[in-house]
Structure formats: C-alpha cells, structure tokens
Amino acid sequence: FCKEKKIPCLGISDTSNLCGALEFAENISKVGTQPIIGTQIYFRFEDTTGLLPLIALNENGYKRIIELSSRSYLENDALSDPHLDVKDLLIDTEGVSLLSGTIQGLFGKLFEKGRLDEISKLYRSLSSKFNDNFYLEIQRHGDQNEIAFEKFNLEQSLKIQIPIIATNEVYYLTPDMHEAHDALTCIGSKTYVNEKNRIKYSNQHYFKSNEEMSKLFSDLPEALENNFNLPFKCNFRPQFSKPVLPNISSEKGGNADEMLKKDSLDGLKEKFQKVFKIEENNLKTDDKFLKYKDRLDHELKIIIEMKYPSYFLIVS
C-alpha cells in the first residue's frame, strides 16, 4: 500500500505492546516510507482507565515507551488488565511525544463523565512536562460525542497554549472494509452485530488520503501543519539486533567452547560404545568413529563461530 500510494511516512501504535513495531519498520522502510513507532497504553486516573498514545521521537523515547509498556503488565496483579497510573507519564519524558487520545480514550471517558476541570489540570501538568511534544488530538470520524469533545479541546488549546494535531484512527485501508471490521469488533467484545448497546465505530476509520484530510480539516490548518511536521521530529526506527545470549561456565572454570567440545566428544564416545560395542581404547583407530568425529568437529566449528555454545549447554 505504501509503495503504491508513495506514502512518505506512516505510524503504528499497537495497544499495550510494541509487538508489531520491528516487522512494521522493516517492511515499510524497504519501500522508502518512514516508520513512526508508537504504542497506546491504558492509564488510570482515579476511577477511570483509558488509552493514551505515545510516540518515540528517538532511541531514548523508544526505550522509554517499551519500559512503560512492560511495566503496565508487570506492576499489576494477574486479574487486572495492563495499565499504569497517569502520574507515570510525568517521569522521564525525553524523546517521547504524547497525544491526548480519542473520545474512547482516557480523556474522552473523563469528558463523558463531565470531569472537565480535572482534564484541564491534567492537560496543564502534561503540557508543562512534555512542552511542545504534547498534542491535543482533533478527530472527525463522526463517532458519538466527538464534536463536543473537539470543541472542548480547542478551547483548552487556546487557554493553555497546547498545540493541536489532526489525526485519523486507521483500522482498515479502504471504506469497503468497514463492515468486516465491525464484525471483528463484535467478535473481540463477544457481542453481536444486531445488538444496540455495543461498541460501534463510524465508517470513517479508513486510511484517508492527503486530499481527504485537507478537506476534512480545512478550517484548522494549524492542526494539519502539526500532523505534517511530526515526522520531522522522529529520527528513530527499530532494527534487528544480534541475539544476546547468556554465558555459561562450570564451577571448575573453563569456557563454554571447551565445555561443549568435551561434552560432545564424550557423548559421541558413549554412543559408539553402546551402539557399535567398540571400547574407548580402540576408537582412535576406528574408521567409522573418525568419520563421525570429523562431522562433529565441523558442526562444533559452526556453533562456536556463531557464538552459540552457551545456548546449547543451557538447553542440555
């Protein structure tokens, strides 16, 4: 899709994890599209929990959002869904950009509860910590309460001097996929399509073109401008790394390479004694044993060159 449409940059924000980030970055980079890596994590404020999107601007930011994602699982009991306290956002914000989220997110839920003063206080705290890397999202999918939430956010933007950004939540590529996604939402929430009281999204959550976004937000050029400029702040993408394997050593000393060689040779000798009934004293002159030992030495050479001896020893 990126190749066909010549997409200059594209962001991903998996929910509660970054499982898709590496594969996403690798694949779209190959066609010249800049990957923007993010995640959306559940944050709790008093009795309300909802999603907030975080974007990595650099390597430090990437490590920070990985840490937050991991902590959302590790610091909760097994019965709770992964989440963090909203105060965790105020610790070490370098390299991270924060967005205010959708009407379904944390601030959207607080808005629907009428807790406007508390949202305003949180906005001020986050703005002072993130500076110009905190954005109020303006979305126009036609979802319930979205217009009222937009009006509130625009007022807050002027009042507190927080930049706004035009975003479109993408769940599928083309408008004709809406029905299938709606059915998928029902499966995910264990409800049925014909149920009235269920999660339902409008048919506007598809990948909109530049022209469509420009037309949709023609009255808010600054929101589109921030959308356009955000990728210039991002200068990081995850890349494949060599495996970091633990090193194993015996109590008597010696390194993993020598241990693996010794254990492997002992194992080969043991097999020859059991299978071919050849005593250890006679192995050095046995053609069959010498042939197997050559093969073993070849395998060991490859394993040692790849720095895998510790892995084999741990498994054994």
Strand bridging mode 48-56 / 96-99: antiparallel
Report the alpha-carbon distance of residue 209 to residue 191 in Å, rounded. Answer: 32
Rounded Cα distance between 144 and 274, Å, is 75
Q: How high is the pLDDT of residue 76?
A: 84
Per-residue pLDDT at 243 = 72
Predicted pLDDT of residue 254: 66
Exposure on the CB side of residue 296, measured as CA atoms within 13 A: 17
Structure tokens at 181: 């996604």
The pTM assigned to this predicted structure is 0.76
Residue 282 has a pLDDT of 84
Say whether 195 sits in a helix, a strand or coil: coil
User: How many CB atoms within 10 Å of residue 126?
Assistant: 22
**Cα(86)–Cα(46) distance, rounded to whole angstroms?**
9
C-alpha separations of 297 from 25, 265, 275, 282 in Å: 39, 9, 20, 19
Q: Which CATH number fits domain 2-170+207-233: 3.20.20.70, 3.20.20.140, 3.40.50.300, 3.30.565.10?
A: 3.20.20.140
* Residue position matching structure tokens 């073109």: 209
Six-digit token string for 144: 């319930």
| Nearest C-alpha neighbor of 177 from the set 207, 132, 153, 155 | 207
| Residues contacting residue 203 through CB under 8 Å, at least 6 positions apart | 175, 178
The full set of domain ranges for the chain reads 2-170+207-233, 256-315
10-residue mean pLDDT profile of the chain (316 residues): values are 93 93 94 96 94 96 95 85 92 93 94 95 95 94 92 96 95 93 91 86 92 94 94 91 72 79 93 87 87 96 92 88
* Torsion sign (Cα): 186, 191, 192, 194: negative
pLDDT at residue 172, as a whole number: 93
Residue type, 48: T
Q: Measure CA of the first residue to CA of the last residue in the chain; give whole Å.
A: 46
